[in-house]
């Protein structure tokens, strides 16, 4: 998909595309369309065509009152008060990964390491405590599930008729069916346990449902929505973040010193990572250069004029976040890695949007940032990453922006 986004979007803040397409990289226009008059514009039809079969009518794709009710129901789950409890799971995974790398003494493919880490977290914070379903069964099911939903057809992006054949049609929908069946089973089993105190994210979901009843199919939709949104996006950010640390060893050393000054060897906590401004700036710069959600779109449901640009009802609004974050009009040396640009400096609203903006900003943004920071900090505290002679894969954009192939780094115990 990156190849069909015009390169001019990195040099201009607005570009009128063919037919009824608008490419928007102007922070003021973005804010108006996501926060202001355009905040009610629905997700693009092609987005629903691409991932609808995987996440149903959950929080990502629902609209109107159904979306508002779900957002209200699930927002408390991602509140800061729950992050210390969830961080314990992140820290446990991070220490396991660091210990494994320390014992390995060699090269590691971070495109395998990162998703394995976030899958382990999902297993812990959502699917834990189910004796009938092993963690390995969950990880295998999720792996097949993500491979299926990551297949994107440009025919959908171009909004060509649905009767035109897609390559994805040749694939079985078994991974989606299997994952939905597994999710339903896990929810029903957890409800039967009736834990008095929530111990993970699924407990929090079920506690919310008791207060505001939701049918089981919608609950399954949202469970899978949180899995989809919380796995590969974080995994890609971790992979690119570790790569950048290997590329810039001096910054890696400074970040390691910052981590050790806060917590030299014990499991990292939510409070710990709040005291690591350089690590946070590194994560922000990683998400600027390699935003996991590198592209999203809306369909204009009304006509509106913003900054002398006339948008008509039915027009397609494309937000190429990758181009926005590397736009030469907005950023100094946009293609250079400079985490310091996020230290003690703020930017206009709409210029840095790795999690979107407005009412539909990613509900798990703080959850994701915390997970990424704890996993990277736990590993970098004990492991030094460096480049090898293996080629560095290019970024490709499917469901998320991921490395196109293995990313082989040297992992050495510090």
Q: Write the CATH number for 300.
A: 1.10.630.10
| Whole-number pLDDT of residue 134 | 60
Centre a 10 Å sphere on the Cβ of residue 347 and count the other Cβ atoms it contains: 13
Q: Which residue has the higher pLDDT, 365 or 142?
A: 365
- Residue 191, class by beta-carbon neighbours within 10 Å (0-12 exposed, 13-18 middle, 19+ buried)? middle
Helix axes 110-125, 135-149, angle to 10 degrees: 120
Number of H helices, E strands in the chain: 15, 11
| Whole-number pLDDT of residue 31 | 97
DSSP state letter for 398: S
- Dist. CA 125–CA 367, nearest whole Å: 11
Pairing of strands 316-319, 21-24: parallel
The SS3 assignment for 14 reads strand
| Whole-number pLDDT of residue 381 | 97
Mean pLDDT of the chain: 86
- Residue 336, class by beta-carbon neighbours within 10 Å (0-12 exposed, 13-18 middle, 19+ buried)? exposed
| Whole-number pLDDT of residue 347 | 96
Domain that includes residue 230, residue range = 2-413
Pairing of strands 21-24, 14-16: antiparallel
Q: Which residue has the higher pLDDT, 186 or 6?
A: 6
**CB-CB contact of 61 with 71 (8 Å):** no
Per-residue buried b or exposed e for 160-188, using 16+ beta carbons within 10 Å of the residue's own CB: eeeeeebebeeeeeebbebbbebbeebbe
**CB-CB contact of 22 with 309 (8 Å):** yes
* 82-91, 299-308, 393-402: segment of lowest average pLDDT: 393-402
Q: Is a pLDDT exceeding 50 seen at residue 160?
A: yes
Q: What are phi and psi of 107, to 5 degrees?
A: -80, 150
- Dist. CA 311–CA 313, nearest whole Å: 7
Q: How many domains does the chain have?
A: 1
For the chain, percent of residues with pLDDT exceeding 70: 85
- Dist. CA 409–CA 116, nearest whole Å: 16
* 33-42, 244-253, 299-308, 390-399: segment of lowest average pLDDT: 390-399
pTM as predicted: 0.88
For the segment 5-25, the average pLDDT, to the nearest whole number, is 94
User: What are the tokens at 235?
Assistant: 């995994």
User: What are the tokens at 375?
Assistant: 């996993």
The candidate with the shortest Cα–Cα distance to 295, out of 169, 113, 152, is 152
């Amino acid at each position: 998909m990156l190849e069909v986004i015009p390169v001019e979007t990195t040099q201009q803040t607005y570009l009128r595309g063919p037919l009824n397409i608008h490419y928007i990289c102007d922070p003021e226009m973005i804010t108006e369309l996501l926060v202001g008059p355009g905040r009610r514009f629905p997700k693009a039809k092609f987005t629903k065509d691409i991932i609808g079969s995987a996440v149903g009518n959950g929080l990502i794709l629902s609209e109107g009152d159904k979306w508002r009710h779900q957002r209200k129901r699930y927002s408390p789950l991602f509140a800061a008060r729950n992050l210390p409890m969830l961080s314990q799971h992140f820290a446990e995974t991070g220490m396991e990964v660091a210990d494994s790398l320390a014992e390995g003494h060699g090269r590691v493919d971070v495109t395998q390491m990162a998703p394995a880490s976030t899958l382990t977290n999902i297993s812990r914070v959502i699917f834990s405590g189910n004796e009938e379903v092993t963690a390995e069964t969950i990880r295998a099911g999720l792996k097949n599930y993500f491979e299926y939903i990551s297949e994107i057809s440009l025919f959908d992006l171009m909004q060509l008729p649905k009767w035109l054949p897609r390559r994805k049609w040749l694939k079985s929908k078994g991974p989606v069916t299997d994952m939905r069946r597994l999710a339903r089973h896990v929810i029903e089993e957890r409800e039967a346990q009736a834990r008095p105190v929530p111990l993970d994210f699924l407990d929090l979901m079920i506690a919310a449902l008791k207060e505001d009843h939701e049918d089981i199919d919608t609950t399954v939709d949202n469970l899978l929505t949180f899995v989809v949104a919380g796995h590969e996006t974080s995994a890609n950010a971790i992979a690119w973040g570790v790569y950048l640390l290997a590329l810039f060893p001096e910054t890696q050393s400074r970040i390691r010193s910052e981590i050790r000054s806060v917590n030299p060897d014990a499991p990292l906590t939510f409070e710990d990572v709040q005291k690591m401004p350089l690590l946070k700036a590194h994560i922000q710069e990683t998400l600027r250069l390699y935003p996991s959600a590198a592209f999203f779109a809306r369909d204009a449901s009304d006509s509106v004029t913003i900054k002398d640009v006339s948008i008509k009802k039915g027009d397609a609004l494309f937000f190429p976040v990758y181009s926005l974050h590397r736009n030469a009009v907005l950023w100094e040396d946009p293609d250079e890695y400079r985490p310091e640009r996020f230290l003690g400096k703020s930017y206009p609203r709409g210029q840095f949007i790795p999690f979107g903006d407005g009412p539909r900003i990613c509900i798990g943004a703080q959850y994701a940032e915390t997970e990424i920071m704890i996993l990277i900090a736990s590993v970098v505290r004990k492991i030094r990453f460096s480049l090898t002679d293996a080629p560095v894969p290019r970024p490709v954009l499917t469901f998320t922006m991921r490395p196109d192939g293995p990313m082989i780094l040297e992992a050495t115990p510090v």
